[in-house]
Structure 1
Amino acid sequence: MLTVMKGPLRFFRRSLTLKIFTICFICVHIPLIAFIIYLASGFSTETIPLLGLMLGATLAGTGICLATLWWLIRPLRKLARAVNQYQEDGQPFEIRHRGEDEIGTLSSAVEAMVSEMDGAMKRLQHQATTDPLTGLGNRRWLSEQVSEEISRAVRRRASMSVILCDLDRFKKINDGYGHDTGDRVLVAAGDVIRRHLRHNDLAARIGGEEFCIILPRTKLKDAEMIAERLRSALAVLDIPPLMRGDVTASFGIYQASTGETLEQMLLMSDKALYEAKRGGRNRVVRANELETAGDRHSPPEY
């Protein structure tokens, strides 16, 4: 008997249409059922009691129908709220309804689709803001992050410094040893920078062989110490077929004034980087100590 009933019950669980039809059919016939029971029980057949019975049974059937349908589509309302919330805050959601009917199927499909879409969006966001070779941020990412750090520095009246790093004679490495070697140099430089970052520091590759490091709550002398450590670490890299010491970098550092933009900070640190290149490369120069630029010689070969 149980085996015979299992098929219809499974079909009933999986069919929202059948559930709604069954609920409506039963509720519509509640007045008739009540009338039959009333007569079978031998109660009076006077008009007023019968009208009262039919009215009460109709109201009861309507209430039961509405309450049952409300409960039946409750997961659909939860799904709608979850989708609206996802549109507002972008957080993926989980629907706990695991019914076998169309609502359960829809809930599972929407949940899976949102989860997949959220993962794809995060991957695209990562690709859009990350340098694929070094794994550091790119210029777009740096601009977004620095805006928050500048606002925080203004509120807290905190110092902020920037390090601009450019690998020396990188074009000669590419031309003489090939772009594969040049890529390995960039990857190694990115690893060195990453190892020397503190928790709140921001590092990005903003050009071919140029890196930028933002140092929140850091004064110029501390930025110089960090830049010197980076310079020393790069100078001892061993990347065959290059000899140790073939990879060096020049650094321009600058302590920003309150409220300066990233472009202003990069402009000042670039002036210091220019002086480091012109002064022989493989050195650190402070932008804050440079005198007003006068006539310059021809730009050095980077």
Structure 2
Amino acid sequence: MCIAIIFSVLFALLSSLGINQIGQQATNLDYGYGLLMLALLVALKKDHKRFPLILTAFLVISFLLSLSALVTVVFDEFRAIWFYQLILVAFMLGGQKSGVFFTLLSLLAIVCTHIFLAPFGTATLASIIVGLVVMALVLSAFSSQVNRYLHYIEKQNAELNYLANKDPLTEVLHSKDYCQLTKKYIERAQELNENLSILYAGLDNLERLKEKYGNQIHHQALQHIITIIKEHLHHNELLTRVGEEKICIILPERDAIAAQSFAINIRNAVRDRLFDYGKDKIPLTLSIGVAALNDSDEEIRSIQIRADKGLLKAKFCGGNEVKICHFFDELTTEKL
């Protein structure tokens, strides 16, 4: 757009100075075009979201200027040169469809002008048409290649983002994002004075399972449990993985009692659904620690410690338990 402004004003100035006469009408059109492009450029800088609209306006106005040059500067054999700039911008900024559209529109305008208004020389017309077609084909191939490359880059970025933030085996967030996300949830709950609870869940008898079936059972069993947990989650509840063995569930808008009820439902669902491992159907149990946000929590660590204490207490009591750890570290137990 800046290039278009510079060249349109330059041609107008050269004409005004008598160096390259293009006629008063064409000179005025070049000045007006430069001012319009400047206005579009200012509008784009103020709001980049307007880019599609501004690009469309730029291409349409540029086409009309190119068309006016064909009609008004009839003595100039190079009056079709503006269409080359138009097509270049259409392909580079608007993409392949935009470029092809304005190429066909430009060819139609040139042929119609030649037939009905201001004919070119035969050699000039042939050169213009061949030049535009060849340029369009080259830009189309280049635009297609760029689009494929950008699509590849977007795909790679999506995969890298997935690998950076999620465990590929269980498809839950890695522990490295856990503290940051938990902090945001807690800050929001404190700001809105809402309830929030955190669950720490762990598979019982993991070492015994590894001894019997091998270390590879760990991730598959964990994935089985996470699948069950996801069936119970609502849209605003978050599931993360903490370390190798712990699963964390963040429950906005739930106090300790509601979180305990949720945890019991999960524990029962895991207990009741056998884990298919090869030819074996293995019963699994889950221990869960529950901690609720309260006014004394000034940092994430305090509620994490309580949830972890609840989990340890549940395992110490034999597993398949749900334990609430209150802020004053008194544990209440409900064994169902």
TM-score (normalised: structure 2): 0.59
Do the aligned partners of residues 117 and 79 (structure 1) sit closer, same or farther apart at CA in structure 2, a change above 3 Å counting? farther
What is aligned with 1:204?
A: 240
Shift in Å, 1:64: 3.2
Alpha-carbon distance between aligned partners in 1 of 2:89 and 2:44, rounded to the nearest angstrom:
12
* Alignment match of 1:101 (pick from 87, 93, 107): 87
Worse-matched range after superposition: 147-156 or 201-210: 147-156
Alpha-carbon distance between aligned partners in 2 of 1:180 and 1:220, rounded to the nearest angstrom:
35
Shift in Å, 1:243: 5.1
Do the aligned partners of residues 115 and 230 (structure 1) sit closer, same or farther apart at CA in structure 2, a change above 3 Å counting? same
What is aligned with 2:317?
A: 279
What is aligned with 1:127?
A: 163
Alpha-carbon distance between aligned partners in 1 of 2:252 and 2:279, rounded to the nearest angstrom:
35
What is aligned with 1:269?
A: 307
Letter in 2 for 1:106: M
Task: Give 1 or 2 for the bigger CA radius of gyration.
Answer: 1
The answer to whether the Cα contact below 8 Å between 1:142 and 1:202 also exists between their aligned partners in 2 is no
Shift in Å, 1:186: 1.5
Do the aligned partners of residues 225 and 244 (structure 1) sit closer, same or farther apart at CA in structure 2, a change above 3 Å counting? farther
Q: Give the match's secondary structure for 1:239.
A: strand
Q: Give the match's secondary structure for 2:326.
A: coil
What is aligned with 1:257?
A: 294
Stretches of structure 1 that go unaligned for 5 or more consecutive residues are 1-15, 38-56, 87-91, 294-302
The answer to whether the Cα contact below 8 Å between 2:221 and 2:275 also exists between their aligned partners in 1 is no
Deviations 1:255-279 (A, max 9, x none): 1213443322111111111111111
Shift in Å, 1:223: 1.0
Percent identity over the alignment is 20
Do the aligned partners of residues 93 and 244 (structure 1) sit closer, same or farther apart at CA in structure 2, a change above 3 Å counting? farther
Alpha-carbon distance between aligned partners in 1 of 2:211 and 2:89, rounded to the nearest angstrom:
63
What is aligned with 2:138?
A: none
Alpha-carbon distance between aligned partners in 1 of 2:174 and 2:220, rounded to the nearest angstrom:
18
What is aligned with 2:203?
A: 167
Do the aligned partners of residues 29 and 242 (structure 1) sit closer, same or farther apart at CA in structure 2, a change above 3 Å counting? same
Worse-matched range after superposition: 172-181 or 158-167: 172-181
Shift in Å, 1:129: 1.8
Alpha-carbon distance between aligned partners in 1 of 2:164 and 2:263, rounded to the nearest angstrom:
28
The answer to whether the Cα contact below 8 Å between 2:276 and 2:282 also exists between their aligned partners in 1 is no
Stretches of structure 2 that go unaligned for 5 or more consecutive residues are 60-84, 96-142, 332-336
Q: Give the match's secondary structure for 1:101.
A: helix
The answer to whether the Cα contact below 8 Å between 1:142 and 1:203 also exists between their aligned partners in 2 is no
The RMSD of aligned alpha carbons is 4.1
The answer to whether the Cα contact below 8 Å between 1:166 and 1:211 also exists between their aligned partners in 2 is yes
Letter in 2 for 1:66: Y
Q: Give the match's secondary structure for 2:275.
A: coil
Shift in Å, 1:210: 1.0
* Alignment match of 1:184 (pick from 216, 220, 226): 220
Q: Give the match's secondary structure for 1:163.
A: strand
What is aligned with 1:222?
A: 258
Deviations 1:72-129 (A, max 9, x none): 7888x489749x848xxxxx975754785332233136x9577765665444333322
Alpha-carbon distance between aligned partners in 2 of 1:66 and 1:201, rounded to the nearest angstrom:
59
Letter in 2 for 1:173: L
Do the aligned partners of residues 115 and 93 (structure 1) sit closer, same or farther apart at CA in structure 2, a change above 3 Å counting? farther
Shift in Å, 1:205: 1.1
Alpha-carbon distance between aligned partners in 2 of 1:161 and 1:106, rounded to the nearest angstrom:
52
TM-score (normalised: structure 1): 0.65
Alpha-carbon distance between aligned partners in 2 of 1:25 and 1:292, rounded to the nearest angstrom:
84
Shift in Å, 1:280: 0.6
Alpha-carbon distance between aligned partners in 2 of 1:215 and 1:160, rounded to the nearest angstrom:
6
